[in-house]
Amino acid sequence: MYTLDQVRCFLAVAEELHFGRAAERLNMTQPPLSRQVQKLERAVGVPLLERDNRHVELTTAGTVFLEEARRLLTAADAAPALARKIAAGRAGVLRLGFTAASGFSLLGTLVQEITDFMPDVDLDLQELVTIEQIEAIRRGELDLALGRPPFDQESFDSRLLLSEDLVLAVPPGHALTRLDRPVTAADLREQPVVGHHPTKARYFYDMVVRYIAVEHGNVVHVVSQILTMCSLVAAGRGVAFVPESARLLGLPGVTFVELDVPHGVVELHAIWDRGSKNPALHEFLRYLHPSS
């Protein structure tokens, strides 16, 4: 096995093509420089230099090894600084999970903020429903989730990032768009509804059950993604309860009307494991909590 010192000695000789000048460059005498190069050649197993009393030349193997040596020394010289940046959370990887709905509401802004705040941190993005994100954090596969409550507050910490209204998606010109008031449960008795899946979209399913008494017989489709719900509304299959940020999808054939429910009930949280050891996560949390 060769050492970095031996590689540095070879690099100096290969670039100077003169042992004397290389020794001066390294602030050492010529005999120990020659010994270091010889040790390197023995470790590599082939001659890297051709030399006699008058000149020094690289062998074919030496020419190839020179390029690799430069890369090796660049990486070795950069490694301590990189280690310090990783320890400080300014480099490394941040694995971020997000729901499909957060993908068109908050994700773009948050990704840009992370990139601006920690430009040397690589982002690994994974689209998952909230329950899948929570399990991925438990398994150590995610660092940060963009998800919906509820979650285990003893194991996880969180920060509310967004609260928005729950609205009703309907086709343009629908009778409910002509009301001069928010839509109530009574207005929906005869309406076909595109409903939320009770497990894959549990957060929205529970919210609708809590605030709006929708008859089960009215539910004509059950899906888990907001984009799919809006697409079915545009196809005239029914009306759907969606977060107000669904307006950002800009889908033709869909309009949105106010519901008679409290404002800001749809919440999106940043969620993380209290015991996480990832410095990049802790650096970003300092950005989320600038006063802490």
Which range has the worst mean pLDDT, 69-78, 169-178, 202-211, 243-252? 69-78
284 close to 94: Cβ distance less than 8 angstroms: yes
18 to each of 15, 41, 94, 170, how far by Cα in Å? 8, 17, 48, 81
Reading the block at residue 239, the tokens are: 């009306």
The answer to pTM > 0.75 is no
Which residues are within 8 A (CB) of 248 and not within 5 positions of it... i.e. 6 or more apart? 104, 105
CA distance 197 to 206: 10
Domain spanning 4-87: CATH 1.10.10.10: yes
How far does the chain reach from its first CA to its final CA, in angstroms?
A: 48
Residue listed under structure tokens 């979650």: 151
User: Residue 152 and residue 168: Cα distance in Å, rounded?
Assistant: 30
Instruction: Note the CATH architecture for domain 166-262.
Output: 3-Layer(aba) Sandwich (3.40)
The C-alpha atoms of residue 105 and residue 245 are separated, in whole angstroms, by: 6
**Superfamily name with CATH number, domain 92-162+267-288:** Periplasmic binding protein-like II (3.40.190.10)
Q: Which of 199-203, 213-217, 249-253, 287-291 has the lowest mean pLDDT?
A: 287-291
Q: 92-162+267-288: same fold as 4-87?
A: no
Summarize the confidence of residues 264-280 as an average pLDDT: 91
Query: pLDDT by residue (tens digit) across 89-123?
Result: 555 789 999 988 888 888 888 899 888 888 888 88
pLDDT digits (tens, 9 = 90+) for 26-52: 899 988 888 988 998 998 899 989 987
Instruction: Provide the pLDDT for residue 292.
Output: 42
Q: What are the tens digits of pLDDT across the range 168-184? A: 999 999 999 999 899 99
Sorted by where each begins, the domain ranges of the chain are 4-87, 92-162+267-288, 166-262
